[in-house]
Amino acid sequence: MNDMLRITTPAAMQELGLVWRREGLTVGLVPTMGYWHEGHLSLMRWARENCDVLVASVFVNPTQFGPGEDLENYPSDLERDSGLARECGVDALFTPVRDEMYAPDHGTWVTVPDLTANLCGRSRPVHFRGVATVVCKLFNLVQPTFAVFGQKDWQQLAVIRKMTRELDIPVRVEGRPIVREADGLAMSSRNVYLTDEERAVAPHIRKGLLLLESLVRSGEADADRLREAVMKYFEANIPMGRLDYLELVDPDTIETVGQVRGDVLAAVAMRLGKARLIDNMHIPFER
Ligand code: PAF
């Protein structure tokens, strides 16, 4: 493909997606809410290597924000994203407007209750219903061969995998590693909300997870004791942070584990000023 296409309506997107599918092209999709950082770009570069046609979407999906969340202030810079998309070799940038994605009487939802009772699903009750619904819509519109998501949103990835599998959606779901700043802070569009003081302590979120990993490696298996040690670390090093959750869960079922007896995911969400930051660490079991 030559110059990047800018597609703004769901109808035009689906028409093209169906043409590509009929032509037998491998289409890669990177769904985003914009305000791209290196994490997004790593997904695009990986997708670029693995497809004929690369589509990226930028859509701040209103249905995944609850009341009082940052929907109206969510950072955006479409011009900048568009330049970055060109640099990454995106063939088509899909940027629908809200009213075209959701009719005023929209009432069909995709829910994955098994995976959403814990972690972010607990503190953001409508979030994953919105995510699953919009991703399902994007899959139907773009008709991709595969779609790529970051592992920072581990629970989101698990939800999308299960939805895709259980609804027989013919899309391969790919998860890619978390991309971090040099000091370890997981990249996020929401990092822009941090003050200098908050930004200075934010890398301790990752350091707390590294501490947890080292305790597991040294033989501690009790989840309560592991959580206590890390919470103490957070209290000492991020005194202004308000912990939303720190949990050890099964990486597939997202159920809380009491004892580490297999692969485990340590997941954290913390409010720091205006930002709610999430991070996680997958700890494979070593016998
Ligand atoms: O991870 C995100 O940016 C969003 O949740 C997604 C997958 C684009 C759906 O709106």
Residue of the nearest CA to atom 3 in ligand 1?
32
Whether 134 lines ligand 1, by a CB cut-off of 6 Å, is yes
* Helix 78-87 × helix 38-50 angle, to 10°: 40
Q: Where are the domains of the chain?
A: 5-176, 189-279
Q: Quick one: pLDDT at residue 91?
A: 98
Dist. CA 31 → ligand 1 center (Å): 6
Q: What is the DSSP string of 90-147?
A: -SEEE---HHHHS-TT-------GGGSSSHHHHHSTTHHHHHHHHHHHHHHHH--SEE
Instruction: Name the 3-class secondary structure at 249.
Output: strand
The CATH class, in words, for 189-279 is alpha beta
Q: What's at 68, amino acid-wise?
A: G
Which H, E and C letters describe 45-75, residue by residue?
HHHHHHCCEEEEEECCCHHHCCCCCCCCCCC
Ligand 1 within 6 A of CB of 31: yes
The domain made up of 5-176 has a fold known as Rossmann fold (3.40.50)
pLDDT confidence of residue 126: 97
Q: Is 131 in the pocket of ligand 1 (CB under 6 A)?
A: yes
Count CB-CB contacts under 10 A for residue 285: 10
Rounded distance from Cα 151 to ligand 1 centre (Å): 12
**Tokens 């075209």 identify what position?**
100
Q: Identify whether the C-beta of residue 146 lies closer than 8 Å to the C-beta of residue 171.
A: yes
Residues 6+ apart with CB under 8 A from 10: 96, 100, 101, 137, 141
Pocket of ligand 1 contains residue 32 by CB under 6 Å: yes
pLDDT confidence of residue 110: 98
Look-up: residue for tokens 């595969």? Answer: 146
The set of residues, in sequence order, having a beta carbon less than 8 Å from that of 89 and lying 6+ positions away, is 44, 48, 54
Burial of 62 (0-12, 13-18, 19+ CB in 10 A): middle
Probe target for ligand 1 pocket from 40, 102, 133, 135, with the most ligand atoms within 8 Å of CB: 135
- Name the DSSP letter for residue 182: T
Per-residue pLDDT of the chain in tens (287 residues, 90 and over written 9): 559 999 999 999 999 999 999 999 999 999 999 999 999 999 999 999 999 999 999 999 999 999 999 999 999 999 999 999 999 999 999 999 999 999 999 999 999 999 999 999 999 999 999 999 999 999 999 999 999 999 999 999 999 999 999 999 999 999 999 999 999 999 999 999 999 999 999 999 999 999 999 999 999 999 999 999 999 999 999 999 999 999 999 999 999 999 999 999 999 999 999 999 999 999 999 87
Strand runs labelled E in 138-230: 146-150, 172-176
- CA 65 from chain centre, in angstroms, equals 14
Collapsed DSSP state (helix, strand, coil) of residue 195: coil
Q: Look up the pTM and report it.
A: 0.97
Rounded to 5°, the CA angle 274-183-198 comes to 25
Binding site membership of 135 for ligand 1 (Cβ less than 6 Å): yes
Measured in Å, residue 243 CA sits from the centre of ligand 1 at 23
- Joined tokens for residue 253: 């079922």
In this structure, are residues 33 and 119 in contact, taking their beta carbons and an 8 Å threshold? no
Q: How many helices (H) and strands (E) does the chain have?
A: 10, 9
Cα separation, 249 vs 255, whole angstroms: 5
Q: CA geometry: angle at 251 spanning 248 and 252, to 5°?
A: 135
Residue 204 is among the residues annotated as catalytic for this protein: no
Q: What is the pLDDT of residue 286?
A: 84
